[in-house]
Amino acid sequence: MATAAAGGRRRRVLFFPLPYQGHINPMFQLAGLLHARGFSITVFHVRFNAPDASAHPAYDFVSVPDDGMPADSPDTVQATMDHIVSVNRACEAPFRERLAALLERQRARAEDVACLVADSHLLTLLGVARGLGVPTLALRLGSAACFRCLTAFPMLCDKGYLPVQESSQLDAPVVELPPYRIGDLPASAAAHGQLREVLSRVVTAVTTSSGLILDTFDALEADELAALRRDLAVPVFDVGPLHKLSPAASSSLLRQDRGCLDWLDGQPPASVLYVSFGSLASVSASDLVETAWGIANSGRPFLWVLRPGLVRGAPPSSISLPDGFDAATRGRGVVVSWAPQEEVLAHPAVGGFWTHCGWNSTLEGVCAGVPMLCRPFFADQMGNARYVDHVWRTGVTIDGELQRGKVEAAISTLMGAGEPGAGMRRRALELKNSAAASIGEAGSSSVNVDMLVSLIQSM
């Protein structure tokens, strides 16, 4: 295996994650992977959602002031774009100052800085690093298919796919990007111009860096990865699934309720529906009610994550389930505020995963071999759901208005003993085995990690 050792020097890799749970975790997983190969690690971070340095005692941490950034987590597409822009703007000058100081210190040591690995949303900060002579690599936390969509965004606009004019267009196919429909594209009619600018910056961040790192694997997205390697002028490293390949400890920003694992120990194999909508998505009060009664009426055991702040307009500290829900589900369900998701999905009692289809959750479901019930909210989640139910055929999507009858029927389809549920489970197990093979000796992701390490060592 390629390692960091070269001529007796120990090289340092710098990291800068976007400060959201779904972006911090994979960044630390990649850091853990490179640290295990002998690199020293420094993590730059803002105060918003700052990582717990005590969980990573072998790393150095540098706090970058984020004055002027919103104090709350974004809960809409518009707010998320505003937040991303504010991170770049607020951190540009202080990051330059702190990076220059670090480089000066390194000159007096036996170490030198190999490169900065930054989230692909941090174009400004990648530019700061290159301006100070530090090579950069962009980590894109989404699928290869999604990044192809981002590179095609100008074409999608020029051909009239975007912005969407009528809801009747949503089911129309995107001929140039199968299997996408118009409704699967990352879009926001209310903020189309800003979204186009933010996505353009992501593509620029990749194409101006020395390489693109993706948390995916070849057997899952062979055609999409081949297309990226054909179309991009930078090397592409598919090194996923990172959460399986990396020795890194959890970087969860929320307190995990591990007691749910004890409850799962007492459930029959493949009987439990695990429900979690991730760390950013939010639902309406009416959707919460329909979700609750759909779960109750399904008759299935369930583990449901009700994260603080999940319900729009409700007090973050408390979420009220509808009257009668507890009585209807007593003895067959557990509700927690946050769960150790990787361990939950790997538990033999879990037979289905109701997910928002964020890429991390989608990949974790794939690696666990668990069929998925998809209810995407925004950004890349619609496209991820499309791949789950139409390409990999390992799940089913609840489209349109959320109604308890739809929910009950979808759960029955997903977890029923006959077809199509049995077929979904077979295909999910095949993908699980492919993921395991990718990180094995001579697996595609293991080979890509070696190539990535060699590139960093040569910088």
**Which positions are catalytic?**
23, 119
- 108 contact partners, CB below 8 Å, separation of at least 6: none
Residues 131 and 216: their CA atoms lie apart, in Å, by 30
Contact 276, 355 (CB under 8 A): yes
Residues 319 and 314: their CA atoms lie apart, in Å, by 7
**Centroid of chain to Cα 34:** 19
Beta-bridge partner residues of 117: 15, 137
Please provide residue 327's backbone torsions phi and psi, each rounded to the nearest 5 degrees. -65, -40
Contact 145, 221 (CB under 8 A): yes
Query: Tokens for 110?
Result: 């036996």
Contact 295, 301 (CB under 8 A): no
**Centroid of chain to Cα 278:** 9
Task: Give the number of residues written for the chain.
Answer: 459
Beta-bridge partner residues of 237: 213
Query: Tokens for 306?
Result: 């009700």
How far the first Cα of the chain sits from its last, in Å, is 18
Nearest Cα residue to 252 out of 383, 360, 382: 360
Helices (H), 51-191: 77-107, 123-131, 144-151, 153-158
Contact 178, 145 (CB under 8 A): no
Contact 366, 301 (CB under 8 A): no
Give whole-number Cα distances, 311 to 13, 250, 289, in Å.
39, 26, 11
